[in-house]
Amino acid sequence: MIDRKDLIKAGAHWGHLKSRWCPRMAPYIWGLKDRVHLIDVSKTAHQVEVAAEFLRNLTAEGKTILWVGTKASAQEAVKNAAHKLEMPYVSHRWVGGTLSNYPQVKKSVTRLLHFEDILDRAADFPLYTKKDLSIIQKNVNRREKTVGGIRKMTWPIGAVVLVDVNEEGSALKEAQLMGIPIVGIVDTNGDPSRVDFVIPANDDTPSSVNLIVGYLADAALQGKEVAATKKIEKRERSEAERSIEEKDLSPADILALAMEEEAAALGKKGASKSGKADYADAKLGGAPARTGQRPGRAPLKRPVNK
C-alpha cells in the first residue's frame, strides 16, 4: 500500500475552499483549515490500492488502459505512465468522439502518419518545396498534440484513468456512454458519483499527481509482466505437447501427416478456384459456350441446303 507520509509530503491532502466543495465528497474529507478542506489520506491510500489492484488485473488479462490528463499539473505524469506501459494517452486536448466515434477520429491519426511518412521520405519527393514541407511539419506538430498519443490505441479499452473529473468532463461522459470503467482522481470540488474507482486527492499539485499516477502505472506494469509470463508459458506448453505427439509417431507417420496436410491445403485451393469458375459460369447464364455459341442463349442454327 502507498505510504500515507508520502501522500502528505506530496500535498495530496489539500483540497479546495469550503465555498467550492461538492457535498458528495463529504465521506472523504477529514477536516477544515483556514477555510480549506483537508482530505483523509487514510481513505486516499485505501482507494489508491483498490484502483491499483483493478488496473493490475486488467493488464494481466491483456487489456488496454487509456490515460487522460490535459491540465498542466497532469500532462507529464500521464505521458510518463503511458510511455512506461506503451499504452495510449491524451495530454493536450480531448478530441470529441475519441471513444464514442473512434473510426472518424482515426482518420486524423491516418493523416498524421501520412504526413510523417512524407517528411521521412522528403528526399524521394523532389516536387515538394521547402514551403510545402514547412506546412506539412506544422500539420504534424498540431496533430501530434491532439491525436499523437492515441495513434496505437487498440480496442477494447479496459479502463480510463482521469486526472480531475471536472477538467475531463467530455472524456468522462464518453467513457460512461461506452460502458468503460473509470478510475479518477477527484478533488473536493468534484463529483465522485460519476466515477467507478474514486481516488480522493489533490489534483492541482504536480507532486501529488505524479505520486498517485506513478503508483497506478507501476501496478499496471506488474500486471503486464504477468500477462507476458502467461503468454510465454502457454507457448512453451503447446510446443511441449506438440513435441510429445511427434515423438509418439514414427518418421513414416510424420511424413504421411505432412503429406495429408499439404493435400488438404491444395484441395481447399482447388475447391476455391472451382467455386469461382462455377460462379462465373452461373453469372454468364449456364455452362461455358462452345465455339459459335453466345453465352446464355440458344445455340446458333446453321441453314440447311436443300
Q: What is the model's pLDDT at position 282? A: 45
pLDDT value, residue 253: 64
| For residue 293, pLDDT beyond 60 | no
Q: Reduce the DSSP state of residue 206 to 3 states and report it.
A: helix
39, 183 contact by CB (below 8 A): no
pLDDT at 103: 87
Local confidence band at 257 (pLDDT 50, 70, 90 cut-offs): low
Instruction: Dump pLDDT digits (tens) for 209-241.
Output: 999 999 999 999 998 888 888 777 777 777 666
Quick one: pLDDT at residue 241? Answer: 66
> Residue 298's pLDDT is what?
52
Q: What is the mean pLDDT of residues 144-150?
A: 88
Q: State phi, psi for 105 to the nearest 5 degrees.
A: -70, -30
The overall average pLDDT reported for the chain is: 81
Q: Which pLDDT band holds residue 271 (cuts at 50, 70, 90)?
A: low
Residues 179/165, Cβ–Cβ less than 8 Å: no
**Higher pLDDT pick, 261 / 276:** 261
Element (DSSP H or E) covering residue 67: strand 64-68
- Within 8 A by CB and 6+ apart from 82, the residues are 67, 88, 89, 149
Identify the pLDDT of residue 225.
87
pTM for this predicted structure: 0.72
Helix (H, G, I), strand (E, B) or coil at 63: coil
Residue that wins the pLDDT comparison between 301 and 233: 233
Residues 85-114, mean pLDDT to the nearest whole number: 89
- Pick the residue with more confidence: 234 or 5? 5
For the segment 155-168, the average pLDDT, to the nearest whole number, is: 89
pLDDT band at 243 (very low <50, low <70, confident <90, very high): low
Tens digits of per-residue pLDDT, 12-65? Answer: 888 888 888 888 888 888 888 888 888 988 999 999 999 999 999 999 888 899
pLDDT surpassing 80 at residue 199: yes
Q: Quote the pLDDT of residue 247.
A: 58
pLDDT attached to residue 211: 92
- How many separate helices (H) and strands (E) can be counted in the chain? 8, 8
Question: Which of 52-61, 68-77, 251-260 has the least mean pLDDT?
Answer: 251-260
